[in-house]
Amino acid sequence: MSCCAPGTEAALDVASPAGPSREEVRFASHNVGGGLMQTDLSVPAIHCGACIQAIESSVGRLAGVEDARVNLSTKRVSVRWRGEAPPPIVQTLNGLGYAAHLFDTDGEGKDRVLAELMRAVAISGFAAANIMLLSVSVWSGAEDATRDLFHWLSALIAIPALFFAGRIFFRSAWAALSHGRMNMDVPIALGVSLAYGMSLFETINHGPHAYFDASVSLLFFLLIGRTLDHVMRERTREAVTGLAKLAPRGAMVVRHGGSHHYLPLPEIEPGMRILIAAGERIPVDGFVVRGSSDLDCALVTGESAPQAAVSGTVVRAGMLNLARPLTVEATAAAKDSFLSEMVRMMEAAEGGRARYRRIADRASALYSPVVHLTALLTFLGWMAATGDWHRALTIAIAVLIITCPCALGLAVPIVQVVAARRLFENGIMVKDGSAMERMAEIDSVVFDKTGTLTTGVPVLADANEIDAADLGIAAAMAAHSRHPFSKAIVAAGTGLPSVAFDSVDEVAGNGIETTLDGATWRLGRADWAISESHRGHLAADGTVLSCNGAMRAVFRFEEKLRPGAKHAVSELKARGIDIDMISGDQPQAVKAIADKLAIDSFHAAALPGDKAEHLAAMAHERRKVLMIGDGLNDAPALAAAHVSMAPATAADIGRNAADFVFLREGLEAVPFALDVARKANRLIRQNFALAIGYNLLAVPIAVSGHVTPLIAAVAMSLSSIVVIANAMRLTGAAQAADVMRDPHSPLAQTTLAEAS
């Protein structure tokens, strides 16, 4: 594996605007006692051992830094430092080539739920192993006093397991019952506690059969499933929240006396004047009072071309200042800005998702009454037949134990964990299992354009038609600007000899002017670069390069498609899925992309509310829609969709609204996620069939009173193993085939690399 190159470049490109400033770092640090401050940073580009060493050694050497620790799994760096001002951590990381983002820990610290689950797994595992040891002795013929001793020991060992490990199920079952609902934990809690109670009774009365092993190993198996489920969700959550925070946490406010103060976001009020440096995002809605620049509105409106901003231009929170410093007067506080408007729309849009009931819940709603009724009927039946209440009760409890939904409890989570792992290996993160179930149901996909189907970065369309000398000069000029078009020209001109100018001047809103050997070169808007006398019959528009007012070259730009976009669209069509595109951009830009990708249905110039309404209308037609988008303006639509997906470069709010987040560039992630979800869905249904089949076999044996603890243990373990083995088929070769079909896709290359 080559070190650091691919990930780092991508991350740098995304976050080249400087990263958090030192004031922001100080706001985000928290005191860990003893005068020590801790700062947590998310550094998405960390990916190997060399990264760990480079970061820990150079950040650890900074003055005031007590220690620096890299966490490779979560891609975070936590630094503890002393003193008044934070050490230049972010700058050091940037110097090493890593983009760093502040990470809001919200004082959460360690994952308490996971720690509790792990403790419970450990204790129940210990108890299950030891009780099984004693049980095997009993099954193989221990009698009388020895058997009683073993039963008593088992009872003793089972107590901490029931107390620590069982608590998790008892709590959940109680919560469900007290709200008048049923869940899978109710039969589990009932089965486990009744099995223990009956076994204790048998032990006191020197009975031959005790189910301590069944009750404890049941807990052990179920806890494994539950822990895996939790780890999967937690890992995703961390990775998602750990990504770049796009919203600023504060802003430089200019006071009346001209003094500058860095204020946290909630303290900014309408009327304040805010200084916005080039490369910063605008924190609140307002209008420009001084300066002129270009704004990247892709996240806010979906428009791909940058917009000029001059004095008086109205700006919205989330826009990115590209070229020059601006002074903006706030017209709304942060909580009333564009972003918050989106949050309100998202809350209103929350639709299909809230109504969706997970497969496991639907199954348990059917399963629990049947099981309890069977046990009750067994008891009544044996009472009527023999009148021996002890025997009737023993058999009824045996029925409960053997039908305890061990396999059923594992049927769903184990498949989803394996599926989530497959997706994770391919750079896709899933929020939770329900997202995967909903994904398997979709029949249409709605794409956003800017930033989703396209990279949002323009490229030079006609680089081959431009004279190399002109392109070289243009590239050297463009290197002085951060405008996206300039970056495209620089990218097209890499490798050409560089030119040293006598003077360089960037004229905001127009372009760049330089002098070279007495000649004046201009790169920028045509009506500015080309003088009146030379314009003549030429229609002056677009971006041109001129020398002393005479035109030398015209540059045309086009939006670059995200890699794999074509492949993804055709793959989805091949699976019989309707494709739709909805964008806030201008109609001609939208149509160009739609034609390129052969998408028949598209909507342009859509406001955020229009997008959400469009999705609500589709849901009304009973269509199950997957929405894929990245901007702030997509967030309500992402929330309104049946299931949603966002690239890792999306705005925070969109990423948090999405069920799936894909980390790699390519859109192959979409058909891949769909395939895995569909396959997982099939396996879940198979697992249910297996679990039900097992019950159909086992219940008659239990009802007829022939179940011994040995049979119960074997039957339960066997059914769990069968279900787990079936889930593991998801990792098999059948899945890889789809990705491999296109050997050039990045997905296929990674999978190949992993396989070799």
Partner 1 sequence: MTNLVVLIPIALLLGALGLAAFLWSLRSGQYEDLDGAAERILLDEDKPDGEEVVRRRK
Active site (catalytic) residues: 448
Residue 201 burial (CB count, 10 A): 15
| CA separation for the pair 328, 317 (Å, rounded) | 11
Least separation, in Å, of the C-beta of 132 and partner 1?
Answer: 11
Cα Dmax for the chain: 115
Q: Where are the alpha helices (DSSP H) in 493-574?
A: 526-529, 532-535, 565-574
Cβ–Cβ < 8 Å for 634, 653: no
Least separation, in Å, of the C-beta of 32 and partner 1?
Answer: 12
Strand partners, 42: 76, 101
Element (H, E) at 128: helix 112-139
N-to-C CA span, the chain: 12
- As given in the structure block, the two tokens for residue 490 are 């620089």
Residue 14 CB-density burial (10 A; 0-12 exposed, 13-18 middle, 19+ buried): middle
| Measured CA angle at 231 (ends 225, 233), to 5 deg | 105
Q: Which is nearer to partner 1, 71 or 686 (CB)?
A: 71
Residue 163 burial (CB count, 10 A): 11
Q: Classify each residue of 616-652 as buried b or exposed e, where b means 16 or more C-beta atoms within 10 Å of its C-beta.
A: bebbeeebbbbbbbbbbbbbbbbbbbbbbbbbbbbbb
Neighbouring C-alpha atoms within 13 Å toward the C-beta of 174:
6
Least separation, in Å, of the C-beta of 239 and partner 1?
Answer: 12
DSSP state of 40: E
- As given in the structure block, the two tokens for residue 162 are 């029931």
Main-chain dihedrals φ then ψ at residue 280, nearest 5 degrees: -100, 155
Q: Which is nearer to partner 1, 53 or 749 (CB)?
A: 53
Least separation, in Å, of the C-beta of 112 and partner 1?
Answer: 12
Least separation, in Å, of the C-beta of 50 and partner 1?
Answer: 9
Q: Which is nearer to partner 1, 69 or 566 (CB)?
A: 69
Q: Which is nearer to partner 1, 68 or 476 (CB)?
A: 68
DSSP state of 161: I
Residue 506 CB-density burial (10 A; 0-12 exposed, 13-18 middle, 19+ buried): buried
Cβ–Cβ < 8 Å for 749, 709: no
Q: What is the 3-state secondary structure (H, E, C) of 233-272?
A: HHHHHHHHHCCCCCCCCEEEEECCCCCEEEEEHHHCCCCC
Contacts of 335 (CB under 8 A, 6+ apart): 266
Q: Helix 389-403 vs helix 669-703: angle between axes, to the nearest 10 degrees?
A: 160
Least separation, in Å, of the C-beta of 423 and partner 1?
Answer: 17
Place of tokens 């009020």: 269
Least separation, in Å, of the C-beta of 114 and partner 1?
Answer: 9
Q: Which is nearer to partner 1, 73 or 588 (CB)?
A: 73
Least separation, in Å, of the C-beta of 48 and partner 1?
Answer: 6
Contacts of 385 (CB under 8 A, 6+ apart): none
Main-chain dihedrals φ then ψ at residue 76, nearest 5 degrees: -130, 155
Q: Classify each residue of 565-595 as buried b or exposed e, where b means 16 or more C-beta atoms within 10 Å of its C-beta.
A: bebbbebbeeeebbbbbbbbbeeebbebbbe
Least separation, in Å, of the C-beta of 100 and partner 1?
Answer: 17
- As given in the structure block, the two tokens for residue 326 are 């601006």
| CA separation for the pair 335, 264 (Å, rounded) | 13
The footprint of partner 1 (CB under 8 A) covers 48-49, 52-53, 56-57, 60-61, 67-74, 110, 115, 118-119, 122-123, 126, 129-130, 133, 145-146, 149, 153, 157
Q: Which is nearer to partner 1, 156 or 310 (CB)?
A: 156
| CA separation for the pair 219, 627 (Å, rounded) | 39
Main-chain dihedrals φ then ψ at residue 459, nearest 5 degrees: -125, 155
| CA separation for the pair 383, 379 (Å, rounded) | 6
Place of tokens 């951009």: 585
Main-chain dihedrals φ then ψ at residue 646, nearest 5 degrees: -140, 150
Neighbouring C-alpha atoms within 13 Å toward the C-beta of 87:
24
Q: Which is nearer to partner 1, 70 or 200 (CB)?
A: 70
Strand partners, 290: 327
Least separation, in Å, of the C-beta of 306 and partner 1?
Answer: 39
Q: Which is nearer to partner 1, 80 or 245 (CB)?
A: 80
Q: Which is nearer to partner 1, 56 or 104 (CB)?
A: 56
Least separation, in Å, of the C-beta of 122 and partner 1?
Answer: 5
Q: Which is nearer to partner 1, 36 or 366 (CB)?
A: 36
Q: Which is nearer to partner 1, 162 or 265 (CB)?
A: 162
Q: Which is nearer to partner 1, 56 or 742 (CB)?
A: 56
Least separation, in Å, of the C-beta of 60 and partner 1?
Answer: 5
Q: What is the radius of gyration, based on Cα positions, of the chain?
A: 32
Q: Where are the alpha helices (DSSP H) in 140-247?
A: 144-160, 166-178, 185-204, 212-241
Q: How many residues does the chain have?
A: 756
Least separation, in Å, of the C-beta of 25 and partner 1?
Answer: 21
Q: Which is nearer to partner 1, 281 or 664 (CB)?
A: 664
